[in-house]
């Protein structure tokens, strides 16, 4: 089993309303789950919404298919199991063809309702 890896795909900044994409990230052989996560630490405005769309390519970026998507609302999000604030919003899914060296991951976020200050990461395991 490969060692889990994570990299920053959009550096900490204040992102205005709009669309932001992270460039394709290569998926090494052996990994079977991909995810993207957004830091919630400075995302306090409950009027701000984020829509995620993550895609995967099996052919070095020639074609892309949707992998995962989701929506989250700003403000403090409490984990009902622990009662403490969630530090991240995460979207991910299993990825096929673990022996394929040509896989890539890319994503887009769509921000509405106001700016957010955050960092966005992509990871594999």
The pLDDT assigned to 1 comes to 72
The pLDDT assigned to 44 comes to 87
| 85, 76 Cβ separation under 8 angstroms | yes
The pLDDT assigned to 87 comes to 94
The pLDDT assigned to 2 comes to 87
Q: How confident is the model at residue 45 (pLDDT cuts 50, 70, 90)?
A: very high
- Mean of the per-residue pLDDT values for the chain? 94
Instruction: Please identify, in words, the CATH class of the domain defined by 5-124.
Output: mainly beta
**Half-sphere exposure (Cβ direction) of 51: Cα atoms closer than 13 Å:** 6
Question: Looking at the whole model, is its pTM more than 0.85?
Answer: yes
**What Rg do the C-alpha atoms of the chain give, in angstroms?**
15
The pLDDT assigned to 120 comes to 93
Average pLDDT over residues 79-103: 95
Q: What residue has token string 């992509």? A: 122
Task: Give how far Cα 46 sits from Cα of 15, 102, 113, Å.
Answer: 15, 39, 9
Domain ranges for the chain: 5-124
Tell me the percentage of the chain whose pLDDT exceeds 70: 100
The pLDDT assigned to 66 comes to 97
Rounded Cα–Cα distance for residues 100 and 33 (Å): 14
């Amino acid at each position: 089993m490969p060692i889990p890896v994570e990299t920053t795909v959009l550096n900490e900044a204040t992102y205005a309303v709009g669309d932001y994409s992270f460039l394709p990230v290569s998926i090494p052989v052996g990994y079977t789950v991909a995810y993207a996560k957004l830091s919630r630490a400075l995302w306090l405005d409950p009027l701000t919404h984020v829509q995620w769309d993550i895609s995967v390519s099996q052919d070095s970026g020639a074609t892309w298919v949707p992998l995962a998507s989701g929506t989250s609302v700003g403000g403090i999000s409490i984990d009902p199991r622990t009662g403490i604030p969630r530090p991240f919003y995460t979207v991910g899914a299993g990825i096929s063809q673990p022996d394929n060296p040509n896989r890539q991951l890319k994503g887009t976020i769509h921000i509405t309702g106001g700016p957010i200050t955050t960092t966005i990461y992509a990871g594999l395991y």
